[in-house]
């Protein structure tokens, strides 16, 4: 089990760096297939996301992908929202969490399919709006064990004028805040699986370097196609697990 979790972590790390996700969108369905229940899968995923997103931030910072001081407001809202979301993990039934997770994937898939990979308007900067968006996404993040970038990316591209690649990088930055808040909250509630989360996180450290390198090399039009295919696969895996 230990070596398998590390291998899964490497795989999740590559996807995390490439698609700008925390990794929960991938790791939660995989962990469900490995025999973990939804609440265990969420806690393990949150631990991995915290480790991987911090490394991703330093890599993007070195590359100068975005101005972190302006994007930090997403994180402030995300911290508060993720606390609420983590509490909902404790009180909601597992079946409800699974269907909410699936609904989130469907929303993202539709928005990405309709989005323009290149910005069609000037990038909007509003710290209050950023905080509100971060708060809303943070609730889903803490509740479903995803970093939040699965929602962040299509919102930034569709409504705030971000390019697709930049939105992905900012989404991974947001994961630092939301996953940290979820980690603390789930630990306080006695729901954190430290051992398995650490193993998954260690593996993701190796994978995320590769993922970000691939992100910087690929053409943006090809990148959108990869994103859409990626979310279709996640949708199919999740619906098969729920209905199966």
pLDDT lower than 50: segments of the chain: none
CA angle 224–225–226, rounded 5-degree value: 90
pLDDT computed for residue 117 by the predictor = 63
pLDDT computed for residue 42 by the predictor = 86
pLDDT computed for residue 105 by the predictor = 74
| Domain residue spans of the chain | 2-243
Q: Is 85:181 a contact under the CB 8 Å cutoff?
A: no
DSSP string, 113-178: HHS-SS-SSPPP--HHHHHHHHHHHHHHHHHHT--SHHHHHHHHHHHS---HHHHHHHHHHHHHHH
CA pair distance 146, 43, nearest whole angstrom: 10
CA pair distance 112, 210, nearest whole angstrom: 23
CA pair distance 92, 116, nearest whole angstrom: 36
pLDDT computed for residue 241 by the predictor = 66
CA pair distance 162, 172, nearest whole angstrom: 14
Token pair in block for residue 120: 């069609």
pLDDT computed for residue 171 by the predictor = 85
Query: pLDDT tens digits for 106-126?
Result: 877 777 777 766 766 788 899
Phi-psi region at 145: left, alpha or beta (left = phi > 0; alpha = psi -120 to 50): left
Query: pLDDT tens digits for 5-19?
Result: 999 999 999 988 888
- pTM of the complete model beyond 0.75: yes
């Amino acid at each position: 089990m230990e070596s398998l979790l590390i291998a899964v972590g490497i795989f999740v790390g590559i996807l995390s760096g490439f698609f700008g996700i925390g990794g929960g969108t991938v790791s939660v369905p995989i962990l469900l297939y490995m025999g973990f229940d939804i609440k265990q899968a969420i806690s393990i995923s949150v631990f991995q996301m915290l480790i991987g997103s911090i490394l991703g931030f330093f890599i993007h910072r070195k590359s100068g992908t975005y101005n972190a001081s302006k994007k930090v407001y997403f994180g402030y809202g995300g911290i508060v929202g993720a606390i609420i979301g983590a509490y909902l993990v404790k009180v909601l039934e597992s079946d409800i969490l699974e269907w909410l997770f699936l609904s989130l994937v469907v929303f993202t898939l539709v928005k990405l399919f309709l989005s323009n990979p290149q910005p069609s308007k000037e990038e909007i900067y509003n710290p209050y709006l950023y905080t509100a968006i971060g708060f809303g996404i943070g609730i889903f993040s803490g509740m479903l064990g995803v970093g939040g970038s699965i929602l962040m990316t299509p919102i930034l591209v569709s409504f705030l004028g971000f390019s697709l690649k930049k939105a992905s990088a900012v989404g991974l930055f947001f994961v630092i805040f939301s996953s940290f808040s979820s980690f603390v909250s789930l630990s306080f509630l006695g729901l954190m699986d430290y051992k398995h989360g650490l193993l998954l996180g260690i593996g993701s450290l190796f994978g995320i370097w590769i993922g970000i390198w691939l992100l910087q090399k690929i053409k943006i039009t090809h990148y959108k196609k990869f994103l859409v295919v990626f979310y279709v696969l996640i949708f199919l895996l999740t619906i098969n697990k729920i209905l199966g």
